[in-house]
Amino acid sequence: MTKLLLDLKHYDEAGRVKPSSALLLLMVFLCRSLLILVMALAAGQDSNALLRLFYPEEKYLYIGLAIALPAFISYVLIAFREKLSKTQLYWPFHLIKYFLFFACLLDFIYQCYLANLHYWQFSWAIATILILDMWFAYFVLKDRHLKVFVADWLQGR
């Protein structure tokens, strides 16, 4: 009989650890540029106006999409974990924590860059994102659920 490392609600029917809500929230936060792009494309005619609302210059959208790429790759790995497990491809799960931490770090650096462009004048948006970046980076490094989740999928039962 194996000892449960987490509460029973964190396991699926097969006994595998499910991703936590905080992990999914982290990935949505880091992929916000991608979500804004998808919403703008779904808007149809007003897509350029919606994109200009969030990204006054086009280069900021591309930077945001580049920052979102490691988090999106992590999301794809988690979404297709069953299929990867069936093919006995386990090593990508080890990269999830690194990708998420790297995306948090890139986003933090980008927000510092934006603050520098505004001569470090206080902005609620930048300050909030900087705090969330630091909190999420700490979460990636220290969260027990994430460690157990990655370790469980690395085992590849």
In tens, the pLDDT along 104-145 reads 999 999 999 999 999 999 999 999 999 999 999 999 999 998
Tokens found for residue 133: 């970046």
Burial of 103 (0-12, 13-18, 19+ CB in 10 A): buried
pLDDT at position 2 over 90: no
Query: For residues 126 and 38, what is the distance between their CA atoms, to the nearest angstrom?
Result: 22
Listed by start position, the domains of the chain span: 18-32+59-150
Q: Is the whole model's pTM more than 0.75, yes or no?
A: yes
The stretch 56-67 carries a mean pLDDT of 94
The stretch 70-88 carries a mean pLDDT of 87
pLDDT of 151 reads: 84
pLDDT of 111 reads: 96
Residue 17, SS3 per DSSP: strand
pLDDT of 3 reads: 67
Query: For residues 59 and 130, what is the distance between their CA atoms, to the nearest angstrom?
Result: 20
pLDDT of 1 reads: 41
Query: For residues 103 and 67, what is the distance between their CA atoms, to the nearest angstrom?
Result: 6
